[in-house]
Amino acid sequence: MLVEMLLLLVVFGAAMAGGHSQPAPGSCSFESHTCEYTSDPDYSPWSLHSEGHFVAVEEDGGPGSGEDSPQTRAQSSAARGVLLSPLLELDEWSCLRLVYQVSVEGSLDVLLRSEGQSFDRPLWSTKAPSESWLISSVDLSNTTQPFRVVIDGASGAAAGSSVSLFEIHISPGYCLECNFEESHLCGYSNQWNANVNWYVGGVQLRDNDLSPDHAPRNHTGHFMHVDSVHAVTFQEVAKLVSPMTTAPMSGCLSFQYQRSEARGNLFSVYTRDRLGQYQELWRAAPESQEPGEWEPVQVDLKAPYSVQVVFEVAFSSPRGGHVAVDDISFSPQFCSADTEPTFDPSLGSCDFEKGLCGYGQGHSAPWRRLTVKPNIFRNGDHTTGAGSFLLAHSQLGPRSGYVSRLVGPSLPTNTEFCLRFYFSLRGFSQTEQALSVYLQQGLVQQKIWTQGEKSRGIWIQGDVSFTTSSPSKVVFVSVCRSLWDCGSVALDDISLDLGQCELGTGLLLGPAQCDFELGFCGYSQDRHSDDADWNRRRGPTPTSYTGPRGDHTTGLGYYVHLEASPLLPGQSARLRSPSLRGSRGPQCLIFYFHMYGSGTGRLSVHVDEGGDVRRLWESEGERSMGWLRAALQYQSDRRHQIVFEATRGSSVRSDIAIDDIKLESGPCSAVEDLDVRGHSNDLE
């Protein structure tokens, strides 16, 4: 969290800076105009406050003269404004910094709008209110495509709610980089401690054993420093924290530092992820330099997920001396040519559509790769509903004691991973040994996950985080005691990512993307021209022999469905996406649908272009007892909505469900659209 002292520097400390880097196009201080930023006319306007030199979106105080009466407060309503930058072309990595404030309640989102695409890519978001100005930093990776920065601010309905922008600053380079000459300190912040803290330093500290800014011939520059004079307890710690990275990056982190007393303090540099987990990058040696001399440091940084860089100094007493840091920079090339590149986790991922990928089986009882056509008796695979998956113990002989082992590719040492996969219990009985996951390091195997969910016949997501201490392999193990006591299990969609699994939760979703785990994601019911609503539900639907038994996302989460039992044949429900801009190129709409039941009606997808409605896709009748994937390619050069319409069939066994909607730019791949209607139960 930013310390109030540093926040005040943002607003009042411009005179402190010894020099200012030239801002890139798209920067604006809003002192007297909006620098070609414009408000989207479809939303509330951002207002320029001439006295305060900022722009804001404020809650509507309701009708009347603006008096703060109880009636006015009761009639206040939320307001949403979208601010668009001029068209930008940045061919090198850049950093966007916002000085902003969310008062009382509201939200602020930063998105990237590429020319010709119908949806914006989310970069950063906050809903946290504050009583003062804050700084946020957003990495803009280099691109050859022109784009606009989209600032989407929404004030809450509570009285006094507003979202304000004091400054937008775009500059070349990475957001981690800083020479501390600018008043905003590049978004670096001091993690407050009652006794020891980082402060802005300069030439006035020369008499305190700290030499001036290390830059050549610069005797008026600034740096960050911390001293031990107020340290009270043993191991007093001061932390200087960088902005959180918002894009994957790997390369060489460089900085300069100096210490006045090498033995009186411990100086270290860490990364800290969104979960608060630390990983040490570098530590100063006890006698690494002459006191007062600036020392250059280079250290490799691998950040495939969002991290902060933390400069930490621990003092053992008030005589621990001083530490200063300056000129933090980053290069996309590693410091040493011998550094191994960041491991590609996709090497450990597999959907088994084209084989076993990098997985092997050794000499154990084999996992069989199978394909089940959509049918009303058995689920197909998890990927598409009609693709391939692995099945253990599908062919048993007279002897007992079968063990099926699936061994993954080699993983590097000292790396944190998240393993996700889907399994489905399909045996005669559900033993505790149906599926386990081991981490094999040399000759040692450590169990890191075991199957606990007992539900049969649905795909359930499993996940586990682990860290390798030596070269390792992931091993999936299924044990079958006998023909009548066999935990036969299916396996599909293995994915491997860097970092803990919790880092994948709470990520920003694209427009029209929804798994319904936290709500409807901006999708809305059509209450004017249909007969019912889509219901959000988890688990099976109320009517037997129709509807899904679990969602597609995890097997235990939420989906939306048409509940047929209270409706008459032919009645329908429509679900509308958020409004989408037109695009010159094709778009691909991907979703999963479930149509199981002897009386199943019809599911159709439409594009509504301001009242001009055209049908993209339709499926009618019972299709499968499992989830099927559909991918629809379409093009619309006007503002539009996607409409899902489910129609009740001839009987109450007509529940229809959808889940995991995603919209992608560009054409659908050739294998995406599955329109198979066979009711076979063949294994291929």
- Can you tell me the distance from the alpha carbon of 16 to that of 185, in angstroms, rounded to the nearest whole number? 11
Q: Are 641 and 582 in contact (CB under 8 A)?
A: no
Q: Does residue 213 surpass a pLDDT of 80?
A: no
DSSP type of residue 53: T
Q: What is the pLDDT of residue 393?
A: 75
DSSP string covering 260-287:
S-GGGEEEEEEEEETT--EEEEEE--TT
User: Taking a C-beta distance cutoff of 8 angstroms, is the pair 357, 406 a contact?
Assistant: no
Hey, how many other C-beta atoms are within 10 angstroms of the C-beta on 284?
19
- Identify the H or E element spanning 658: strand 656-665
Q: Return the pLDDT at 293.
A: 82
Task: Please tell me the predicted confidence (pLDDT) of residue 480.
Answer: 79
The arithmetic mean of pLDDT across residues 319-348, rounded, is: 92
Q: Among 166-175, 364-373, 470-479, 509-518, name the one with the lowest average pLDDT.
A: 509-518
Average pLDDT, stretch 137-156? Answer: 91
Residue 559 has a pLDDT of 98
If one compares 480 and 444, the residue with the highest pLDDT of the two is: 444
Q: What is the mean pLDDT of residues 353-373?
A: 89
Interior angle at CA 331, CA 325 and CA 334, nearest 5: 105
Question: Of residues 312 and 116, which shows the higher confidence score?
Answer: 312
Q: Tell me what the mean pLDDT of segment 542-549 comes to.
A: 94
User: What is the model's pLDDT at position 68?
Assistant: 44
Question: Closest Cα to residue 57, out of 45, 67, 68?
Answer: 45
Residue 342 has pLDDT above 90, yes or no: no
Lowest-pLDDT choice from 22-26, 181-185, 409-413, 489-493 = 22-26
Q: How many other C-beta atoms are found inside a 10 Å radius of the C-beta of residue 46?
A: 25
Most confident of 60-69, 196-205, 325-334, 577-586: 325-334
Say what the pLDDT of residue 674 is.
47
Calpha distance 293→203 (Å, rounded):
14
Q: What is the mean pLDDT of residues 280-292?
A: 79
More confident site: 86 or 487: 86
Residue 397 has pLDDT above 60, yes or no: no
Across the chain, what does the average pLDDT equal?
85
Give me the pLDDT at residue 168, please.
Answer: 94
Q: Are 118 and 587 in contact (CB under 8 A)?
A: yes
- Confidence category of residue 562, pLDDT binned at 50, 70, 90: very high
Express each pLDDT in 449-502 by its tens digit: 998 777 778 999 999 999 999 999 999 998 877 766 676 789 999 999 999 998
Residue 207 has pLDDT above 50, yes or no: no
Average of per-residue pLDDT across 553-579: 95
Q: Is the torsion defined by CA of 307, 308, 311, 317 positive or negative?
A: negative
Which amino acid, one-letter code, is at 627? W
**Burial class, 469, CB count within 10 angstroms (exposed 0-12 / middle 13-18 / buried 19+):** exposed
CB 100 within 8 A of CB 164: yes
Question: Which pLDDT value is given to residue 262?
Answer: 62
243 DSSP assignment: P
Checking if the pLDDT of 505 tops 90, the result is: no
Report which residue type is found at 19. G
**Stretch 567-590: mean pLDDT, rounded?**
92
For the CA atoms of 354, 390, 418, 627, what is the dihedral angle to 10 degrees? 90
Q: Residue 474: which of 488, 485, 462, 487 has the closest Cα?
A: 462
Q: What is the pTM of this model?
A: 0.86
Under 8 Å CB-to-CB from 670, ≥6 apart: which residues? none
Query: How remote is the C-alpha of 369 from its chain's centroid?
Result: 32
- Which residues on neighbouring strands pair with residue 657, listed in sequence order? 561, 594
Q: Which of 20-29, 256-265, 311-320, 403-412 has the lowest average pLDDT?
A: 20-29
Work out the average pLDDT over 325-329: 96
% of the chain surpassing 90 pLDDT: 59
| Residue 428 pLDDT class (50, 70, 90 cuts) | low
Q: Is the confidence at residue 166, as pLDDT, over 90?
A: yes
Q: Which residue type, as a one-letter code, is found at position 181?
A: E
Which whole number is the average pLDDT over 358-369? 86
State the pLDDT at residue 431. 62
- Name the 3-class secondary structure at 578: coil
pLDDT of 607? 96
Question: Is the confidence at residue 512, as pLDDT, over 90?
Answer: no
- Range in 182-196, 299-313, 424-438, 533-547 the model is least confident about: 424-438
Give pLDDT tens digits for 227-251. Answer: 988 888 778 899 999 999 999 999 9
The answer on pLDDT for 110 being more than 90 is yes
CA 302 from chain center: how many Å? 18
The gap between the terminal CA atoms of the chain, to the nearest Å, is 57
Phi-psi region of 410 (alpha: psi -120 to 50; beta: other; left: phi over 0): beta
Is residue 593 within 8 A of residue 648, CB to CB? The reply is no
Angle at 81 between CA 75 and CA 85, to 5 degrees: 165
User: Which residue, 462, 500, 448, is CA-closest to 275?
Assistant: 500
Identify the sign of the CA torsion 535, 540, 546, 548. Answer: positive
* pLDDT at site 379: 87
Which residues in 238-261 are b (16+ Cβ under 10 Å) and which e? bbbbbbbbbeebbbbbbbbbbbbb
> How much of the chain exceeds pLDDT 70, in percent?
84
Tell me how far apart the alpha carbons of residues 614 and 503 are, in angstroms, rounded to a whole number: 40
Among 140-144, 150-154, 486-490, the range scoring the smallest mean pLDDT is: 486-490
Q: Is 220 left (phi over 0), alpha (psi -120 to 50) or beta?
A: alpha
Model confidence over 33-83: pLDDT tens digits?
Answer: 899 999 999 889 999 887 767 888 887 654 443 444 444 443 456 789 999
Q: Residue 506: what pLDDT?
A: 60
- The stretches of 104-205 forming alpha helices (DSSP H) are none
Would the pLDDT of 9 be above 50? no
Q: What is the pLDDT of residue 419?
A: 97
pLDDT of res. 669 = 83
